[in-house]
Structure 1
Amino acid sequence: MPMQPTLRALAAAVALSLAGHALAAPLAIDLPAQPLAASLRQLGEAAGLTIAVDSSLVQGLQAPAVSGRLEPLEALSRLLSGSGLSYQQSGNTLVISRPSGDTMELGVTSINGVAPGAVTEGTGSYTSGSTSTATKLPLSIRETPQSISVMTRQRMDDQGLTQLLDVARQTPGLSINQSGNAGSDSSSIYSRGFAVENYQVDGEQRLDSNYNSIFQTSDMVIYDRVEILRGATGLLNGIGTPGATINLIRKRPTADLRSSVMFQGGSWDHYRGELDVGGPLNDEGTLRARVVGAYQENDSYIDRLHERKQVLYGIVEADLGADTLLTVGMDAQYHDADDHARSGRPLFNQDGSLADWSRSDSAAAAWAYSERHFVSAFASLEQRLNDDWSAKLSLSQGRFEYDEVIGYAAGGAPDPATGAGVSLWAGRWEAKPVQTGLDLSTTGAFDLFGQRHDAVIGYSRQHTQYRTTGYNLWWHDDWDSSVPNIYTWNGKDPARPDIKAVSRLDFDEEQSGAYASTRLRATDDLSLILGGRVSDWENTRKNDNFDPSLEDTVDKRSESGVFTPYAGVVYDIDEHWSVYASYTTIFKPQSAQTVTGSYLDPLEGKGYEVGGKAAFFDDQLNLGLALYQIEQDNLAVSIPGEFAPDGSQAYRAESGTKTRGFELELSGELAPGWQAMASFSRNLVQDADGNKLNTDIPQNTFKLFTTYELRGIGNGLTVGGGVNWQSEIYSNDMGPNRVRFTQDDYAVVDLMARYPITHQLSATLNLNNLLDEEYYTSTSSSYQGAPRNATLGLKYDF
């Protein structure tokens, strides 16, 4: 018989006892005729019960008026009469479903209280009950034969994680190599030793088109959750690297009216405001909308850096019939920064000693800036075909616009006596990429050999048109890049050079593919997940030089019929534990260039993963252990201090590389009111001779964050805290003496507290880097992590 934690077993027994009392005690009920979702919420709040339902099931349904002194279950039966819905009881949770149990997966939402489902908003949980990022099949975390983490809405709210880089820092298995301010290409996210290049929004692939770091400043206010799938993900992404896929899932309209405002202030003149309003637009509840907005302005612990962020998001859902759902929406995000630096100051002095900079010392020229603007529109049509199958068509278009004038004092090395010897790197890049996407899929279930199986079949296409002006990078005519005295420098001297436009660059990237996956249940305990994708990819780069003495160039690369197989097996040992194994291949054409300007050959390889998973307490607590190995050829390895002819970083190809490691993660509810997320990850990247690669990425990381609600204090005080630890990182051949620079292992401690001042008004305090740990965030410059800081937020729900 499986052992249960004593504390949780006792809590469960108490909960069942209370549930029985709540379900039997008659209540004075007076519910008007109104949308069913509103009646379910009001009943749950009055009875102190959790009522969980797939939002698609109650869309457009009206509940009759129910009044009198009734037991909750009797009242619920009256509300559901004539709707074709029924309920099942699990403790103090009532789950609404169709009698057949087959529903369109539009996201299970808790009408009130906590219940695991796809949607995490309002659950208070640090885990999710369903995810489809790996295979597009709606599987639980335990049923997915790969490592997957979910950063829920509650986790992001608890720690004030408002940017994607903030989320990545806290996510199991991810690390950040940050050598400069956010808003450039110097803040790479890594997983399993590889830079993350696969980004999705609502499951739709975003092409990087030579500048995927544009996604890393995404604001989190518009998203319900972030699903992070580690390992190779070619089944749905087609072309991609084996590090991870980051899938941002947007918030959806709610079945009843919900509104909130939030104001936040913090260190270094940090100010932020958020507005979130959503609900039905008509009495029938068949038309629903939501609007989310945010504005943020802040200085920084780094001198002179100033940022502004503006976000607006709108979405409308319409029930065109009992089985048809139309969704349209748009979002816009602006991120602007003045006195912006792509790097920190030099690490070493001219005499080879380590430079002693303050964390506040800026490398930015006063005229340097970064502007990142993004506007997207999207639409989807979902159709229930029958009780078993549904189809979905999604369309999207995103218009990016970025402009970065680059100027940062990272060249040379300072003379400790005079401050001379440092120079500026200067240049500019700007573009207006436009990406369109289409995804058509059908998902359902079928019976075969006495078992119920799942399947998805689909086709996707993405196209990016990328028009940009090429500018001189790093060296400019009639311009002296020298900083007179770095110790007294205010960023104004030397003045901005004449950064000349030298070419017109046109990129066109297109990817398309057909995919299919299925979960076949060989027995009740054994599932086989099989899939495959056939992809076509084409990239055309045209360079029109303004200098007539230089030859124009056209580079066209394409791949067709690339097959990416996927195989996984999951075996349920008992009701809680399972073991799994999975396999897939890796293929990705690369934009990395050699010192001569030629592109590296496509990245190719294989990925293997085995592990065990467990789910406890109605899937509200998930545990996972994964062991993996990745074998690759043509891995891009940067060459320090070397540049390609266009001024970008130069790389060499390394074949026969192996990446091995393991990951351990725990997430969810340990006991009533106690949420936690803890993980340990180890990763080792080696070349064919066994030498370490990517030593500037930590081999080992440990992350923990937990909160606990002290219900006996006032209205209920929630306290929390956590620690992020990483092992040492280093780079060789650094500084004038070509030595090894090492950042030792370090830990950063954070604390938080939240208190509901009233039923509608709550305050949240975050203290970050409580022990004021000093550390470098990369081994390529003197850029350092933020010192101790605090934010205080007030949120009002109405």
Structure 2
Amino acid sequence: MIKKLLLVTIVLFSINFFYGQNGSIKGKVVSTQGKGIQNVNVIITSLEKGTTTNNQGAFYINNLKSGNYTLEISYIGYNSQKITVTVKNNETTNTPNIVLIENQEQLTEIVVEGHKMNKYSQKKPSSALRLKGELVKLPQNIQVISSELLLDQQVTNIMDGVIRNVSGVTMLEHWGHFARVNMRGFRLPAFRNGVNVQDTWGPLSEDMNTVDRIEFVKGPAGFMMSAGEPGGFYNVVTKKPTSTPVAQISLSGGSFDYYRGTVDLGGKLTEDGKLLYRFNGMYQTADTHRGNEDAQRFGIAPALTYNISNKTSITTELNLQQAESFIGSAYIFAPAANGYGSLDRGFKFTDNNYPVTDIQELTLFTNLKHEISKNWSFETQFAYLRYDQEGNSTWLWNFEDTGDATRYVGIWDALSLGKYFQTYLYGTFNTLGITHNVLAGFDYSQKEYWADWNQSIVIDVNQPFNIYNPVYGNTITPVFDRTQKVRDRANAHNTGFTVRAFYAQDELAFLQNKLRLTLAGRYTQLVTLGKAETDKKFTPRFGLSADILPTLTAYALYDQSFLGQNGVSKSGNTFDPVEAKDIEGGIKKSFFDGRLKTSLGVYQITKENVLVTDPEDINFSIQLGEIQSKGIEFDMQGEITPELNIVLNYANTNVEITKDTNPANIGKKVAGHAKHMTNGWLNYNFSSLSKFKGFGVSLGYQYQVDRSAWSWGADNQTDLPDYFRLDGGLSWKNNKVRVQLNINNILDEYLYSGSNYGTYLYWQSEPGINGRFTVTYNF
């Protein structure tokens, strides 16, 4: 094996030594303030070959024959430029800094008239993912949901249906305050700006008012940001300060007393552009289709960027959210013999006086970027999260076939604290014609979580609550002991861990960047609260990406993961870390000059030490031996024509137990996914030449087949019916105003998800046909 690897290495080096006799071009694109501009297109017009600038504005084009070349430099919102460069063999031609001048008129037209840009397809990942280059060139499946797509779908929260835009992603039943998102059969950790903020029962579901994009990274990506969950993760990227003026206000109204207002402001605080700002604010109040559950949510998110010099900048973001949630109120219970949907979808299992839970979440990010030279830079980030919750949850205590239910309300006070530090070094250099893109870094995270679930009160004392003849208000009011803070209570569950991780990666580019080899490794030290020994693990990563055609790329990936697990078992024992291996491969194809992008991939994930719901107590988990997830994924995203945008995806997912202490469990399905799932969204905006200029129409669907319930107590059952939902929208806009109406569940289907718990069923229903109307004004 070693001889074969040496032979391959010698051949590749030899090939690139031959190609290395050519010359190259290196330069930097900056704004009028001298700051590097990221993602600028730099094209050699005669060869139709080019690249994009990195986060410092630098670019590099190699393997060019000697001669004169014309470079065309272009970026949205700036005037394009053309320069002539002379290239000589065995030399690198350094261009002077290329200054692009803002074109305010062009930028306004592109932002407001969304059909003039590719709204749905993103070319590169955010800098938060620490990855360089185009998405199509990476040996991994990464899907990006743009802010324009969120706007067309009128998504205001991560729980509103964001997951429909990515293959194989489902959202399971929830308590109401956080999103439990699964992909490839496993729960996804929530990231914000590249930081893993996941805890046991959180974080708070993300409001889209502050969101610029959401990135779904499939597969372990164990070398990045102390992330080792084998299913992947989703990364919410927030809006950043900008030199381009932003002034927008939005007002919404809709079904179930839904009212919402948002404001988005940004621009320069100083004339020289050294100090930039962004401010987002929102207020929302809304009921549910069950009624008497009016909840409010408020948030402010100021951000500042200080450009210390042309090479150094620092950005600080604060996000404060105050939210109310009726935790657990969405659940409905009925006898198993009656079947799902046997009660009206507006049926309410909690009392009208059921107390609301108050939640406050504070996040703080500070990011420092510095360009050491044209080829080397580093980035350091500090982050802090505090999540406070004071409230309760409700569940079933006892249930009779007659429909008599005895309910209980339990205290659910929680505190989550997270402290994070990341530092990264980026570099680019050549050896014998091989381009090396190097990434090295250190990642530190410290999380601790306290929760009090140990106080509960049966509220149906005088008489049971009958689901067929419900009487509300005939209960006792729960009163809990809160004389101490939750972190000081002796009965509070306390979990947490500290992670220290070092990693290094080299992306080697061969054959004029047509062949790319990724070699990476990560060493992790994991300290789990309550566990004496420190867990340590080295996890390698190998990736290969090759351009078969200019518009067709094939990739292969081998990755391992290692991740600590929060929580304790019912007996109070901590859990072993998750270890998993991922093997996958696929192709990525673009159409219509890159405006429409598609990907098709297959994968196999083998995961050990997985957690599932404890069948004896749903508030706890148990740890299995081994689970294997196999699947096929297809994603399409982008423009068919400048007027027509599309999102289309399909996933076949199969997750089974492959090793267990109980042989009878082997081969059983692992709960929480649909075997077949497909989603689609079409958006058509009439062109400026049409008499319907400014109008747009959207239509989308979600379809799931062979769904498995999420609870371990479901015991391999798949008795949930198929799921189909149809949504649509109409809009009109001009240079200042956008008016939009979205209708969800157009067919008024009774849609739900839930589980069969033996003698009874429980499920959560979605509302019937409902709508939202929004008016947005740009100053």
TM-score norm. by structure 2 comes to 0.80
- Provide closer, same or farther for how the CA distance between residues 102 and 589 of structure 1 changes in structure 2, counting only shifts above 3 A: farther
What is the CA distance between 1:603 and its match in structure 2?
Answer: 2.5
User: Residue 376 of structure 1 corresponds to which residue in structure 2?
Assistant: 363
1:290-305 → structure 2 map (5 Å cutoff): 290-305=278-293
Matched residue of 1:312: which SS? strand
* C-alpha distance after superposition, 1:148-201 (max 9, x if no partner): 1111000000001111122543231344354355216xx5211001111x2221
User: Residue 250 of structure 1 corresponds to which residue in structure 2?
Assistant: 238
User: Residue 413 of structure 1 corresponds to which residue in structure 2?
Assistant: 399
User: Residue 633 of structure 2 corresponds to which residue in structure 1?
Assistant: 663
Distance in 2 (CA, whole Å) between partners of 1:732 and 1:637 is 9
Identify which of 130, 133, 141 aligns with 1:136.
Answer: 130
What is the CA distance between 1:537 and its match in structure 2?
Answer: 1.4
* C-alpha distance after superposition, 1:436-495 (max 9, x if no partner): 111111112111211332111111111124445x3425566x984963433443543322
Structure 2 unaligned regions, length at least 5: 1-30, 36-50, 59-69, 86-92, 482-488, 757-761
What is the CA distance between 1:383 and its match in structure 2?
Answer: 0.9
Distance in 2 (CA, whole Å) between partners of 1:103 and 1:235 is 36
Distance in 1 (CA, whole Å) between partners of 2:95 and 2:420 is 29
User: Residue 356 of structure 1 corresponds to which residue in structure 2?
Assistant: 342
- Provide closer, same or farther for how the CA distance between residues 586 and 792 of structure 1 changes in structure 2, counting only shifts above 3 A: same
Distance in 1 (CA, whole Å) between partners of 2:490 and 2:148 is 49
Identify which of 429, 436, 439 aligns with 2:412.
Answer: 429
2:476 is aligned with 1:495:
yes
Question: Which stretch shifts more, 89-98 or 382-391?
Answer: 89-98
Question: Which stretch shifts more, 271-280 or 559-568?
Answer: 559-568
Matched residue of 1:321: which SS? coil
User: Residue 192 of structure 2 corresponds to which residue in structure 1?
Assistant: 201
What is the CA distance between 1:261 and its match in structure 2?
Answer: 0.4
Matched residue of 2:332: which SS? coil
Matched residue of 1:137: which SS? coil
Matched residue of 2:467: which SS? coil
Distance in 1 (CA, whole Å) between partners of 2:770 and 2:679 is 19
User: Residue 403 of structure 1 corresponds to which residue in structure 2?
Assistant: 390
User: Residue 5 of structure 1 corresponds to which residue in structure 2?
Assistant: none
User: Residue 692 of structure 1 corresponds to which residue in structure 2?
Assistant: 668
Distance in 2 (CA, whole Å) between partners of 1:158 and 1:698 is 26
Distance in 1 (CA, whole Å) between partners of 2:414 and 2:103 is 43
User: Residue 674 of structure 1 corresponds to which residue in structure 2?
Assistant: 644
Distance in 2 (CA, whole Å) between partners of 1:247 and 1:733 is 26
Matched residue of 1:234: which SS? coil
2:612 is aligned with 1:609:
no
Letter in 2 for 1:561: K
- Provide closer, same or farther for how the CA distance between residues 407 and 140 of structure 1 changes in structure 2, counting only shifts above 3 A: same
Matched residue of 2:266: which SS? strand
- Provide closer, same or farther for how the CA distance between residues 95 and 695 of structure 1 changes in structure 2, counting only shifts above 3 A: farther
Q: Is the contact between residue 467 and residue 507 of structure 1 (CA under 8 Å) also seen in structure 2?
A: yes
2:706 is aligned with 1:725:
no
User: Residue 286 of structure 1 corresponds to which residue in structure 2?
Assistant: 274
User: Residue 575 of structure 1 corresponds to which residue in structure 2?
Assistant: 550
* C-alpha distance after superposition, 1:289-327 (max 9, x if no partner): 111111110111122222211111111111111111121
2:672 is aligned with 1:702:
no
2:529 is aligned with 1:536:
no
2:777 is aligned with 1:796:
yes
Letter in 1 for 2:427: G
Distance in 2 (CA, whole Å) between partners of 1:601 and 1:481 is 45
- Provide closer, same or farther for how the CA distance between residues 403 and 233 of structure 1 changes in structure 2, counting only shifts above 3 A: farther
Alignment coverage as a number of residue pairs: 687
What is the CA distance between 1:352 and its match in structure 2?
Answer: 5.8
User: Residue 73 of structure 2 corresponds to which residue in structure 1?
Assistant: 88
- Provide closer, same or farther for how the CA distance between residues 239 and 445 of structure 1 changes in structure 2, counting only shifts above 3 A: closer
2:313 is aligned with 1:325:
yes
User: Residue 722 of structure 2 corresponds to which residue in structure 1?
Assistant: 745
Identify which of 430, 455, 459 aligns with 2:442.
Answer: 459
Matched residue of 2:123: which SS? coil
1:188-227 → structure 2 map (5 Å cutoff): 188-196=180-188, 198-208=189-199, 210-211=200-201, 213-215=202-204, 217-227=205-215
What is the CA distance between 1:137 and its match in structure 2?
Answer: 2.1
- Provide closer, same or farther for how the CA distance between residues 473 and 720 of structure 1 changes in structure 2, counting only shifts above 3 A: same
Q: Is the contact between residue 113 and residue 123 of structure 1 (CA under 8 Å) also seen in structure 2?
A: no
What is the CA distance between 1:399 and its match in structure 2?
Answer: 1.5
Distance in 1 (CA, whole Å) between partners of 2:145 and 2:168 is 12
Letter in 2 for 1:459: F
User: Residue 337 of structure 1 corresponds to which residue in structure 2?
Assistant: 325
- Provide closer, same or farther for how the CA distance between residues 724 and 631 of structure 1 changes in structure 2, counting only shifts above 3 A: same
Letter in 2 for 1:337: S
* C-alpha distance after superposition, 1:537-588 (max 9, x if no partner): 1122xxxxxxxxxxxxxx2255343212111000100110010000111223
User: Residue 588 of structure 1 corresponds to which residue in structure 2?
Assistant: 563
* C-alpha distance after superposition, 1:623-652 (max 9, x if no partner): 101100011222223343x12xxx723424
User: Residue 767 of structure 1 corresponds to which residue in structure 2?
Assistant: 743
Distance in 1 (CA, whole Å) between partners of 2:656 and 2:96 is 47
Distance in 2 (CA, whole Å) between partners of 1:473 and 1:467 is 14
Identify which of 231, 235, 241 aligns with 2:223.
Answer: 235
Distance in 2 (CA, whole Å) between partners of 1:562 and 1:289 is 41
Matched residue of 1:300: which SS? coil
What is the CA distance between 1:673 and its match in structure 2?
Answer: 1.8
Letter in 1 for 2:516: S
User: Residue 515 of structure 2 corresponds to which residue in structure 1?
Assistant: 526
Q: Is the contact between residue 53 and residue 96 of structure 1 (CA under 8 Å) also seen in structure 2?
A: no
Distance in 2 (CA, whole Å) between partners of 1:302 and 1:581 is 48
Q: Is the contact between residue 260 and residue 276 of structure 1 (CA under 8 Å) also seen in structure 2?
A: yes
Distance in 1 (CA, whole Å) between partners of 2:192 and 2:385 is 11
Q: Is the contact between residue 743 and residue 775 of structure 1 (CA under 8 Å) also seen in structure 2?
A: no
Distance in 2 (CA, whole Å) between partners of 1:713 and 1:389 is 52
Identify which of 135, 144, 150 aligns with 1:150.
Answer: 144
- Provide closer, same or farther for how the CA distance between residues 101 and 747 of structure 1 changes in structure 2, counting only shifts above 3 A: farther
Q: Is the contact between residue 471 and residue 502 of structure 1 (CA under 8 Å) also seen in structure 2?
A: no
What is the CA distance between 1:116 and its match in structure 2?
Answer: 12
Q: Is the contact between residue 250 and residue 261 of structure 2 (CA under 8 Å) also seen in structure 1?
A: yes
Distance in 1 (CA, whole Å) between partners of 2:669 and 2:408 is 27
Q: Is the contact between residue 207 and residue 464 of structure 1 (CA under 8 Å) also seen in structure 2?
A: no
Letter in 2 for 1:236: M
Letter in 2 for 1:485: N
1:151-190 → structure 2 map (5 Å cutoff): 151-183=145-177, 188-190=180-182
Q: Is the contact between residue 423 and residue 481 of structure 1 (CA under 8 Å) also seen in structure 2?
A: no
Q: Is the contact between residue 263 and residue 273 of structure 1 (CA under 8 Å) also seen in structure 2?
A: yes
User: Residue 373 of structure 2 corresponds to which residue in structure 1?
Assistant: 386
Letter in 2 for 1:771: L
Q: Is the contact between residue 567 and residue 575 of structure 2 (CA under 8 Å) also seen in structure 1?
A: yes
- Provide closer, same or farther for how the CA distance between residues 669 and 639 of structure 1 changes in structure 2, counting only shifts above 3 A: same
Q: Is the contact between residue 346 and residue 411 of structure 1 (CA under 8 Å) also seen in structure 2?
A: no
Distance in 1 (CA, whole Å) between partners of 2:132 and 2:462 is 56
Structure 1 unaligned regions, length at least 5: 1-32, 38-51, 60-84, 541-554
Q: Is the contact between residue 375 and residue 428 of structure 2 (CA under 8 Å) also seen in structure 1?
A: yes
What is the CA distance between 1:696 and its match in structure 2?
Answer: 4.2
Q: Is the contact between residue 276 and residue 293 of structure 1 (CA under 8 Å) also seen in structure 2?
A: yes
Distance in 1 (CA, whole Å) between partners of 2:272 and 2:385 is 33
Question: Which stretch shifts more, 456-465 or 502-511?
Answer: 502-511
User: Residue 260 of structure 1 corresponds to which residue in structure 2?
Assistant: 248
Letter in 2 for 1:214: P
TM-score norm. by structure 1 comes to 0.79
Identity %: 21
- Provide closer, same or farther for how the CA distance between residues 472 and 569 of structure 1 changes in structure 2, counting only shifts above 3 A: same
Distance in 1 (CA, whole Å) between partners of 2:308 and 2:75 is 33
What is the CA distance between 1:134 and its match in structure 2?
Answer: 9.7
Matched residue of 1:743: which SS? coil
